[in-house]
Every structure is written in C-alpha cells, then in structure tokens.
Amino acid sequence: MGQPATDRTGAADGGTSPQAAQFGAPEADELGTIYRRFTWPSADGLTLAGRDYGAGGSDGSARPPLLCLPGLTRTCRDFAPLAARLTAAGHRLIVANLRGRGESERAPEPSHYNLGSETDDVLRLVDGLGFKAIDAIGTSRGGLILMILAMRRPGLTARVVLNDIGPRIGLGGLLRIARTIGIQLGELDWPAAIASLAMSQADMFPDLDERGWERYARRLWRDVGGRPAQDFDPAIGHELATLTQETRLPELWEAFAVLAERPVLLVRGVLSEVLTETTAAEMLRRHATVELAEVPGEGHAPLLEDEATLQRIAQFLDRA
C-alpha cells in the first residue's frame, strides 16, 4: 500500500501522453478465465504490463470498463476470482500491474516508486486505451492511487470500489506491512512457504482452511522452477523504511471528497488494522455516496473471493 505521498501527486494530467497499449494473444489465467496480456510505456521508459479480460458490453449494456489496481506488493493475480465472476456477466476488466510488480519492469531508483509516478502510469494507460469514463477497484495502495486520480482527472470514474483503504491509514497496519516486505523466502518450497504464511497471518485470516492458504500463497508469490518467489521489487518498501510508532501519516480527505462525488463501495475486512472501523464510519458520515460491505473473518486486505463479497461488488457495478 505505502505511505500517502504529499509531494509527488503532480499537476493536472501530469503530462501524460496517450500511447496505444500492445496486446498479446488470448490465454487463460489461474482460474481458466481468458484474457489478453498487454503492455504500455511509462513516462520514464518502463514497460508496464497487465491483463485485459472480456470484450465488455456483450450483454448489450453500456458499462464502462473496470480498472483494477492491486496493493503495494501485489499483482494481477489478486483479481482472478473477480474477473471470473464479472466477465461471465459481460464486464471488461483492465487489470494493471504497477511498476516493479509482476511482469512490469522495475524502476531504476527506489525514489521512482511513489504514488505520483504510479498515478501517472495509470493515467497513461487510461489515455492510451482511449477511455473517457471507467469504473475502478483499488486494493490498498491501488485505492490511494484512485483517490489521487480523482483529483487529477475529476469525473473519470463512474463507480469506485475501495478494498480496505481510506483517506486515513491505520499506523499499526502500515507498520505490519513494513515488517513483511523485506522477508525473503530463501530455499522454501511451496508447502513450507504456505505453512509460514498461515502462521504469520493467522490473526488476519482465521477462517482460511488449508486450500484457502494455498490459494492466497499462489496469488502472493510466483512460481520459479517449482518454488515460490517474490513478485515485486524489494525497493518498493523504501517509503516505509523510516516508519515508527511516532510517525504522523498524511491524510487524503480532500482527494477522497472528490472521489466520493460518485458512488463508492467500501469493502472492509472486519479485522483490518489499515482501514479502522472509526475511519470507515467517518467516510460514511461525510459522504452519502459511500456504502459499506464488511468481510467477516478477514483483515488487510480482503481476498475478494468469497461469494458474498463478489456478489456485493457485482450488484454495485450493475446498479443503474
């Protein structure tokens, strides 16, 4: 997710210039859903990558495409269950790997990982695809990007789903994330890595069974020669390196106010330390456009795979 940046949000449109994304042949994801891999260029010369699911509008609707942005160290794989559900109903999903994650190239300097640059990257993708309006879902860091995007391009988003993130971040949750970024898998095989994950996050996902922990692990890590490997540049964590219990985090209420001019569905894990119950209540109090969907038995960030949450998101996006 990362600490909200206050110095790199950029001027209006950030100098983005549309360049068409390059698309590959259709292939199947981890759950068998068909997508096309695509790439697009960043302003500083990186080749970024993502997945395009579904043709969109196949049921005759005029739905905007759904832009999906993962969390701090996460990738397109997190949205596979949502893609399976929504493409079957005629939605088009554009799922982006942020710079340094998944198949997107790594930045040459740690300072190039910041919310301003990553928002620029997303705007270049949207412009390159020619989208004038989008729906969007952002998990954690992805949701922070959507708030900044609303400031940079008001009116772009029609509906937004925020997955366990708000304009005020719980410091305890952020410190937990900071502690896990530098952990190396070493020579662990998949069973050992899955067991380690289950032990370290049992308090955040107490209801996951053995198969659930394996699903979680397979989205978290990529397979390299039959072993799990981190799927992000460790330099991404540079923003969190100086966090302490005394750190005062910036808040994004002004940006959230712009985002909340349109309907917002706030998904919150009831065990989350990142999006606290108090902050969620304040978001609902300030803006009548915001509705809340809580996920029992999950912390940060909800896995977006249970039937109730998938159904709630689908209903929210299909609402006229």
Whether 168 and 310 share a structural domain: yes
Q: If you average pLDDT over residues 54-75, what whole number do you get?
A: 80
Mean pLDDT over 229-246 rounds to: 92
What tens digit of pLDDT does each residue of 13-37 get? Answer: 444 455 778 999 999 999 999 999 9
Average pLDDT over residues 57-83: 87
pLDDT at residue 55, rounded to an integer = 66
- Per DSSP, the three-state class of 130 is coil
Q: Ramachandran region of residue 39, left (φ > 0), alpha (ψ -120 to 50) or beta?
A: beta
Give me the mean pLDDT over the 29-53 stretch: 97
Q: For position 182, what pLDDT does the model report?
A: 66
Q: Where are the alpha helices (DSSP H) in the chain?
A: 80-87, 115-128, 141-152, 171-181, 190-200, 210-220, 253-259, 277-286, 307-318
Same-domain check for residues 219 and 73: no
User: Average pLDDT of the chain?
Assistant: 92
224 and 291 inside one domain: no
Give 155-164 pLDDT, tens digit per residue.
999 999 999 9
Residue 72: CA count within 13 A, CB half-sphere: 26
- 54: which 2 tokens? 């579904």
Structural domain count of the chain: 2
Of 163, 99, 124, the residue nearest 10 (C-alpha): 124
Q: How confident is the model at residue 10, as a pLDDT?
A: 34
Instruction: Please check the confidence at residue 288 and state whether its pLDDT lies above 60.
Output: yes
Residue 282 lies in a domain: yes
Amino acid at 70: P
Could you tell me the pTM of the whole model? 0.93
The answer to whether the CB of 262 falls within 8 A of the CB of 158 is yes
Q: Tokens 């966090």 belong to which residue?
A: 243
Contacts of 20 (CB under 8 A, 6+ apart): 128, 129
Tell me what the mean pLDDT of segment 119-148 comes to. Answer: 97
Measured on CA atoms in the order 67, 68, 72, 75, is the torsion positive or negative?
A: negative
Quick one: pLDDT band at residue 82, thresholds 50, 70, 90?
Answer: very high
Helix and strand tally (H, E) in the chain?
9, 11
Query: Is residue 213's pLDDT more than 90?
Result: yes
What value does the mean pLDDT take over residues 287-302? Answer: 98
Report residue 67 as tokens.
């832009």
Query: Rounded distance, CA 254 to CA 99, Å?
Result: 26
Residue 144 predicted with pLDDT over 90: yes
State the pLDDT at residue 19: 72
What is the pLDDT at residue 61? Answer: 58
Task: Show the domain range for 202.
Answer: 185-229
Check residue 131 and give its pLDDT.
Answer: 95
Same-domain check for residues 38 and 137: yes
Q: For the residues 70-82, what does the mean pLDDT come to? A: 97
CATH number at residue 117: 3.40.50.1820
For residue 133, what are the contacts with CB-CB under 8 A and spacing of at least 6?
A: 64, 155, 156, 157, 158
Please tell me whether residues 175 and 85 are part of one structural domain: yes
Flag whether pLDDT at 89 surpasses 60: yes
Task: Tell me which of 210, 229, 248 is where a domain ends.
Answer: 229
Asked whether residue 289 is domain-assigned, the answer is yes
Are 207 and 226 contacting, i.e. CB atoms less than 8 angstroms apart?
A: no
pLDDT category at 320 given cuts 50, 70, 90 is: low
User: Do residues 245 and 113 share a domain?
Assistant: yes
How far apart are the C-alpha atoms of 117 and 111, rounded to whole Å?
10
> How many other β-carbons are positioned within 10 Å of the β-carbon of residue 33?
22
Q: Say if 3 falls within a structural domain.
A: no
Residues 212 and 151 in one domain: no
pLDDT of residue 18: 57
The residue to which tokens 């554009």 are assigned: 94
Out of 57-61, 86-90, 167-171, 274-278, least confident range: 57-61
Domain boundary among 196, 229, 262: 229
Distance between CA atoms of residues 178 and 181, nearest Å? 6
